[in-house]
Amino acid sequence: SVLISSTSQPGFLTISIKDTGMGIPKNKIRLLFTSSFYSTTGTRNEAGTGLGLMLCKEFVEKNGGKIWVESTFGEGATFYFTLPVHDFAVEA
């Protein structure tokens, strides 16, 4: 299963995506957001390109946010990202 949630703090929004999959080994976490094109097969043997999380990182950082993951192998992973929130007025 996958749970998507958000929390808001002054100036930014944090989105979390949590799964109950097999988790990520600690020695692989540092490779997830790099251009090393690290890729594994999914739980249903689907193939990936290794580009998705690298592109997410670039998008989030170019918009002033941060992205990271917390995982326990065998228990799933939670990915987080933050984006700044700006107040603005809209004229009627």
Distance CA 77, CA 37 (A): 19
Residue showing tokens 């995506």 = 17
The structure's pTM equals 0.79
* Three-class SS of the chain: CEEEEEEEECCEEEEEEEECCCCCCHHHHCCCCCCCCCCCCCCCCCCCCCCHHHHHHHHHHHCCCCEEEEEECCCEEEEEEEEECCCCCCCC
Which tops the pLDDT comparison, 81 or 31?
81
For domain 2-84, say whether CATH 3.30.565.10 is its number: yes
> Could you give the percent of the chain with pLDDT greater than 90?
50
The pLDDT tens digits of the residues spanning 39-60 come to 666 667 776 666 788 899 999 9
pLDDT higher at 82 or 25? 82
- Give me the residue spans of the domains in the chain: 2-84
pLDDT reported for residue 50 = 65
Residue 12 has pLDDT above 80, yes or no: yes
14: pLDDT strictly greater than 90: yes
